[in-house]
Amino acid sequence: MIDDLWYKNGVIYCLSVGTYMDANGDGVGDFKGLLRRLDYLHGLGITAIWLMPFQPSPGRDDGYDITDYYGVDPRYGTLGDFVEFTHGCKQRGLRVIIDLVVNHTSDQHHWFREARRSKDSFYRDWYVWSDKRPANANTGMVFPGVQKSTWSRDKEAGAWYFHRFYDFQPDLNTSNPHVQAEILKIMGFWIQLGVSGFRMDAVPFIIATKGANVRKPVEQYDMLRAFREFLQWRQGNAIILAEANVLPKTDMEYFGRDGDRMHMMFNFHVNQHLFYALASADSRPLAKSLAATKPRPATAQWGLFLRNHDELDLGRLTKAQRNAVFKAFGPDKDMQLYDRGIRRRLAPMLGGDRRRLELAYSLMCTLPGTPVIRYGDELGMGDNLELPERNCARTPMQWSTEPHAGFTEGDRPCLPLIDKGPYGYEHVNAAKQRRDPNSMLNWTERIVRMRKEVPEVGWGDFRVIATRDPAVLVIRYDWRNNSVLFVHNLDERPREIAFAVGLPGDAGKLLVNLLSEDHSRANKRGRHRLLLEGYGYRWYRIGGLDYLLKRSDIDSDTSGKAAQPA
């Protein structure tokens, strides 16, 4: 039962085939290259790989503009290569989830080409049209500053079409039953080829009512149930991970009160407050965001992330909070994007400070949910702000000190490798970090292993424990009579804190440190006193005397010293 719901206690790793590993030397990463790197990923200990779009596409939005849902872009390989890849994953016990981009197609998709040709085309109603320019054409842009409107006129069609994103991404009319059936067919196709689910792009827009007369779009939540139902018929353990940056009050609509809609959703609300906590050393808004997103069905799960391939969207913070994050992590205009976010990678945002990187990763791994790692973050990769918009944080993976970081043997990588400064591939690369026991890579590997060994985080119930110090977040999980507790000091200065672990029965129990030998015993009043170094963190199992006694029995300790907890 527990293992059936693999996503509840997994670790997901997101990558883009085109920038991961190039096997044929044409400068573009491909499935053959990725296949060669599966042992690296397996070694990292992840549970599932999330592949960003790899279907045929003009590539004007990094593949989120698809021209054929049933193929592989020839730059990345063939369907045959894809199946070799999913087979390789299966052999290693790795699951694969893929992006499902069905809010819109590319304007080059044959459906749209047919649709624009004539009002009588079968595909006309697959998109959203208006004879006149709708009054609200200049509202609702997702990429303000870059995208001018949400309606554009198509000369050939002699009509206006709706596009929530760029003008080359016409929205599908998702209310049309033919479109709905096609979406299921796409899911069925990839399921058959070995994937374990989908990261569904732009979910609130997929389910919203669309049209020239729609003033306030209404979400058609029943569609989510239909997607899930179909998926479960085809393959019981397949999941949908929804990209839905929505207010906490609608979370349950997305998960479904009976747990019959989305299996997972990214927790954008916690993501933004987490960055505020890192910027301000104040854990209180983060704790509030955890409370606000607490309700969810038992089988549902949050996807917890730090940075992804888009900008860090700070739109849900107050103005003062947002400014604090900008000031700390993206003070220059060219680090910011779309009037709401920061486009940098994690390591440069945190000044490359190893203590802060570990703190951030440790938080991601111990807040309620399933961590989602972005490729390269396990090395502390940097960004290239000379590249436009979000491309700055999408540069190719840095494998070694060989030319182009070992990403390609060709001389024209699809995006330039970072070859200057502290994040240049001479310094930051997988080969070097593999050899260094103290590297970020080896640290990440250990923390991933440890995270999987505390299923309480994935499955349990949590509570934030008061410490009287806003700079320190203490969170406890309970599940099946097991308990774990995590402590994080958000401040650069050392802090001394005192706290009780929460339940009266636990007062005398030892806190067994899972990452070092530094365990904590409560004082007579049942309180633990900890001295935390700046940005320090602790992972404890609430183990206790029983545990020690059992161990000393087994070890038949003759030395007189207490047995050490494992």
Is residue 311 a contact residue for ligand NOJ (CB under 6 A)? no
Q: Does 61 bind ligand NOJ (CB under 6 A)?
A: yes
Return d(Cα 552, Cα 549) in angstroms, integer. 5
Please confirm, yes or no, whether 253 is among the known catalytic residues: no
Closest contact distance (angstroms) between CB of 309 and ligand NOJ is 6
Instruction: With beta carbons less than 8 A apart as the criterion, state whether 499 and 528 touch.
Output: yes
Q: Which is nearer to ligand NOJ, 64 or 302 (CB)?
A: 64
Question: What letters, b where the CB count within 10 A reaches 16 and e where it falls short, cover 407-440?
Answer: bbeeeebbbebbeeeebbbbebbbebbbeeeebb
353 scored as a contact of ligand NOJ (CB under 6 A):
no
Q: Is 305 helix (H, G, I), strand (E, B) or coil?
A: strand
Q: Is 198 in the site for ligand NOJ (CB under 6 A)?
A: no
Reference 98, options 217, 15, 175, 7; nearest CA is: 15
Active site residue 243: yes
Q: What SS3 state is found at 549?
A: helix
Under 8 Å between Cβ of 203 and 243: yes
User: In 427-562, at which residue ranges do the beta strands (DSSP E only) sit?
Assistant: 461-465, 472-479, 482-489, 495-499, 511-513, 528-532, 537-542
268/329 with CB nearer ligand NOJ: 268
Q: Does 310 bind ligand NOJ (CB under 6 A)?
A: yes
Of 197 and 536, which has the nearer Cβ to ligand NOJ? 197
- Active-site residue identified among 22, 99, 107, 243: 243
- Rounded Cα distance between 379 and 369, Å, is 23
Q: Tell which one of 41, 44, 46, 101 touches ligand NOJ (CB under 6 A).
A: 101
Do 482 and 508 form a contact (C-beta atoms < 8 A)?
Answer: no
Indicate whether 302 belongs to the interface with ligand NOJ (CB under 6 A). Answer: no
Helices (H) and strands (E) in the chain, counts: 17, 21
What's the CA gap between 135 and 473, in Å, rounded?
48
The residue among 188 and 204 lying less far from ligand NOJ, judged by its C-beta, is 204
**For the purposes of burial, counting CB atoms within 10 Å of the CB of 292, is it exposed (0-12), middle (13-18) or buried (19 or more)?**
middle
* Beta-ladder partners of 97: 50
Question: Minimum distance between the CB of residue 101 and ligand NOJ, rounded to whole angstroms?
Answer: 6
Closer residue to ligand NOJ in complex, CB, 201/251? 201
Which pair of tokens denotes residue 173? 């009319």
202 counts as binding ligand NOJ under rule CB under 6 A: yes
Query: Interface with ligand NOJ includes 54 (CB under 6 A)?
Result: no
Does residue 312 interact with ligand NOJ by CB under 6 A? no
**46, 37 Cβ separation under 8 angstroms:** no
Nearer to ligand NOJ, 65 or 445 (CB): 65
Residue nearest to ligand NOJ (CB): 64
- Residue with tokens 């030397």, as numbered in its chain: 25
Token digits of residue 274: 């987490």
Catalytic residue (choose from 99, 107, 201, 506)? 201
- By beta-carbon proximity to ligand NOJ, the closer residue of 81 and 311 is 311
- Chain residues 498-557 in contact with ligand NOJ, contact rule CB under 6 A: none
- Minimum CB separation of residue 82 from ligand NOJ in Å reads 21
3-class state of residue 273 by DSSP: helix
| Residues between 205 and 244 that touch ligand NOJ (CB under 6 A) | 243
Hey, how many other C-beta atoms are within 10 angstroms of the C-beta on 77? 24
- Determine contact, residues 143/165, Cβ cutoff 8 Å: yes
Residue nearer to ligand NOJ on the CB measure, 61 or 378? 61
Question: By rule CB under 6 A, what count of residues binds ligand NOJ?
Answer: 9
Q: How near is the Cβ of 109 to ligand NOJ at its closest, in Å?
A: 14
Minimum CB distance to ligand NOJ, residue 166 (Å):
8
Q: Where are the alpha helices (DSSP H) in 471-517?
A: none
- On whether the CB atoms of residues 252 and 212 are closer than 8 A, the answer is no
- Nearer to ligand NOJ by Cβ, of 95 and 394: the residue is 394
201 belongs to the binding site for ligand NOJ (CB under 6 A)? yes
Among candidates 394, 388, 272, which has minimal Cα distance to 337? 388
Is 64 a binding residue for ligand NOJ by CB under 6 A? The answer is yes
Token couple for 434: 């593999």
Beta strand spans in 166-211 (E): 197-200
> Nearest distance from residue 440's CB to ligand NOJ, in Å?
25
Would you put residue 559 in left (φ > 0), alpha (ψ -120 to 50) or beta? Answer: alpha
Residue 201 vs 219, nearer CB to ligand NOJ: 201
Positions 146 through 185 that interact with ligand NOJ (CB under 6 A): 165
The CB-of-250 to ligand NOJ minimum distance in angstroms stands at 18
Gap between the Cα atoms of 207 and 230, Å rounded: 16
Cβ atoms of 397 and 21 within 8 Å: the answer is yes
Least gap, CB of 289 to ligand NOJ (angstroms):
21
- Looking at residue 450, the DSSP 8-state letter turns out to be H
Question: Measured from the CB atom, is 391 or 467 closer to ligand NOJ?
Answer: 391
Residues that bind ligand NOJ (CB under 6 A): 61, 64, 101, 165, 201-202, 243, 309-310
* Residues annotated as catalytic (active site), given as ranges: 201, 243
